[in-house]
Amino acid sequence: MAIVNDAIEVTEKSLTAVPLTIDGAAILHQMMRVRWPDWKKLSRSQQSEIAAEFATAFQGPEQEGQSALYSLLGHKGDLLLLHFRNSFEELNAAELRLNQLRIEEFLEPVSSYLSVIELGLYESSVKLYRSLAEKGIEPHTPEWKREVERVLERQREAMRPRLFPKLPGARYLNFYPMDRRRGEQKNWYSLPIEERQRQMEEHGQVGRRYAGAVQQIISGSIGFDNWEWGVDLFADDALVFKKLIYEMRFDEVSATYALFGPFYVGIRCPMARVQELLSGALPSR
């Protein structure tokens, strides 16, 4: 029995702390205020021309599912322009494109958020790390790295539709950044990987109960922005955001380790109907 226990102990101590992730589309949120006094000085025809130019720049077959415009509720801004692209270079091109349009003269940036779609592989990581430890393969050796890359490549291929999705067409968007607590008494990153896996599995079970009512896209922003993750929720019923997030507050990983940034809630506006929005009438679907 002592031999078995020693083997288990060695295996657990050999597990690498960092879970594997696979990354996909690059995401940019642009939050803006409209300079209403200046916009209102324009004639109806001028507004129409500027709005048409903006719509043309971010719609069409080649941009399908890549950019979306939302009317923000509350004081944090008037508009949110959301971009999904395959690379940071393409995101930068979209940002620069906006800066060349005439509508840019009437927009004031208030915030932005940069991230990449991220899928965490806690379960696969624990299984792989345990298997490699049992075989006596040391972490970060060439053989260890080869086995890790095999798993990552297999997961990238299987998860490609989730890594590079089209931007959902739901009526409402809820976006917020978040961190995992890393203070003196509670530190997510000091927990063993198996404990983090257990808590994330419990956390994910709540989200799965809302499948069909809300689409969730998690993006990683460590090293890219001021928070660690961005969360985008898309739904046709805005109340589902409150229900889902409230229920998640009661699971262990949220109750003990979650820190939340500002929340942005927006209503989808078709690009072609931006003039209606800027005339004070939110277009119906």
Q: Helical H runs in the chain?
A: 2-14, 36-40, 44-57, 88-100, 122-134, 142-158, 160-163, 193-208, 239-248, 252-257, 274-278
Cβ–Cβ < 8 Å for 12, 192: yes
Q: Say whether 176 is catalytic.
A: yes
Residue 12 has a pLDDT of 52
Residue 211 has a pLDDT of 87
* Cα(125)–Cα(133) distance, integer angstroms: 12
* Cα(265)–Cα(241) distance, integer angstroms: 10
Containing 233, the helix (H) or strand (E) segment is strand 229-235
Q: Which of 79, 86, 83 is nearest to 104 (CA)?
A: 79
Q: SS3 letters for 138-199?
A: CCCCHHHHHHHHHHHHHHHHHCHHHHCCCCCCCCEEEEEEEEECECCCCEHHHCCHHHHHHH
| pLDDT tens sequence for the chain (285 residues) | 333 344 444 445 557 889 999 999 999 999 999 999 999 999 999 999 999 999 999 986 666 679 999 999 999 999 999 999 999 999 999 999 999 999 999 999 999 999 999 999 999 999 999 999 999 999 999 999 999 999 999 999 999 999 999 999 999 999 999 999 888 788 999 899 999 999 999 888 888 888 889 999 999 999 999 999 999 999 999 999 999 999 988 989 899 999 999 999 999 999 989 999 999 887 776
Q: In degrees rounded to 5, what are phi and psi of residue 251?
A: -80, 160
Which of the following is catalytic: 176, 210, 257, 264? Answer: 176
Strands 258-260 and 264-269: unpaired
Cβ–Cβ < 8 Å for 72, 172: no
Query: Tell me, what amino acid is at 169?
Result: G
Residue whose tokens read 């968007």: 173
Residue 7 has a pLDDT of 40
Domain positions in the chain are 25-117+270-278
* Cα(7)–Cα(130) distance, integer angstroms: 11
* Cα(116)–Cα(271) distance, integer angstroms: 24
**Which fold does the domain 25-117+270-278 belong to in CATH?**
Alpha-Beta Plaits (3.30.70)
